[in-house]
Amino acid sequence: MKLINKIYDSMDAAVADISDGSSILFGGFGGAGVAYELILALHRQGAKNISAVSNNPGYHEEGIAKLIAYDRISKLTCSFPNAKDSYVFRQKFEEGKIDLELVPQGTLAERIRAGGSGIEAFFTPTGVGTEIAAGKEEREFNGIPCILEKAIRGDYAFIKAKKADRWGNLVYNKSGRNFNPAMAMAGKITIAEVDEIVEVGELDPETIVTPGIFVQRVVKRSGL
């Protein structure tokens, strides 16, 4: 019997096919729910000219800040680029080595969910009257001024979860959940870095947050 098996043996194997110029959605808020080991594997792999979507640009040289430090990311779509410890991004941005698309956090999450859900664009009040509205269509619904925001999808999504099974079903840990479920939906190839792999059927069906349909690859963290 040919069983479904989305489990990869190593982080390196899971990211091996990512080519230059790919778009990647990176889960995480601050340091919570970040697929750190996948990001390190992508750094070793060397793909460049990546179009990245991530709520934060990484701190110090950790997370995607490492990819930015090595000029692997050419564009970042992000809500919070300018934190104190995000000096790597700030420097590269000032040097003109990375483009920024600044997006309000809720709009970012919703654009990603839309990308995974067959919604091509939506009207929302967030950003009306701000610099975020520049160049966007504005329209009123029931007297509420809104702007038109477009779906975001990725060639890949890098997800961090707590547990997975070989079907790719996922549960998360606390607020490590954050962007991960929406990004899992919007990645063409979603790769989940997980703390633990369990047997199919072990996860309570009522508590699965990301069903396996949204996940293509699963790798267990080494924790090193």
Partner 1 sequence: MDKRLLTREQIAKRIANDLQSGDIVNIGIGIPVLVSNYVGPDAEIIYHSEQGVLGMGKKAKPGEEDPDLVNASKEPVTLVPGGSYSHSADSFAMARGKHIDVAILGGMQVSEKGDLANWKVKGVKLGSIGGAMDIANGAKKVFIAMTHTSKNGDIKIVKELDFPVTALRCVNRIYTDMAVIEVQRDGLVLKEIASGFSVEDVQKVTEPKLIIDEDLKEIQV
Options 124, 155, 189, 197; binder of partner 1; rule CB under 8 A: 124
CA distances from 217 to 38, 39, 76 (A): 11, 15, 24
Are the C-beta atoms of 52 and 26 separated by less than 8 Å? yes
Are the C-beta atoms of 181 and 172 separated by less than 8 Å? yes
Options 43, 90, 136, 221; binder of partner 1; rule CB under 8 A: 90
Least separation in angstroms between residue 45's CB and partner 1 is: 25
Q: Does 49 bind partner 1 (CB under 8 A)?
A: no
Site for a second copy in 164-223 (CB under 8 A): 171-172, 174, 204-207
**DSSP line for 76-114:** EEES----TT-HHHHHHHHTT-SEEEE--HHHHHHHHHH
Q: Is 15 helix (H, G, I), strand (E, B) or coil?
A: helix
**CA atoms in the 13 A half-sphere facing the CB of 119:** 17
Site for partner 1 in 135-164 (CB under 8 A): none
Options 24, 76, 88, 112; binder of partner 1; rule CB under 8 A: 112
Are the C-beta atoms of 18 and 190 separated by less than 8 Å? no
Task: Determine how β-strand 144-150 pairs with β-strand 138-141.
Answer: antiparallel
Least separation in angstroms between residue 14's CB and a second copy is: 25
Site for partner 1 in 69-88 (CB under 8 A): 79-83
- Each residue 87-116 as x (binds a second copy by CB under 8 A) or -, in order, gives -------------------x---x---x--
Least separation in angstroms between residue 181's CB and a second copy is: 12
What do you get for the CA distance between the two ends of the chain, in Å?
35
Which of the listed partners (partner 1, a second copy, none) does 142 bind, with a CB threshold of 5 to 8 Å by partner kind?
Answer: a second copy
Residues that bind a second copy (CB under 8 A): 106, 110, 114, 117-126, 141-142, 144, 146, 150-151, 171-172, 174, 204-207
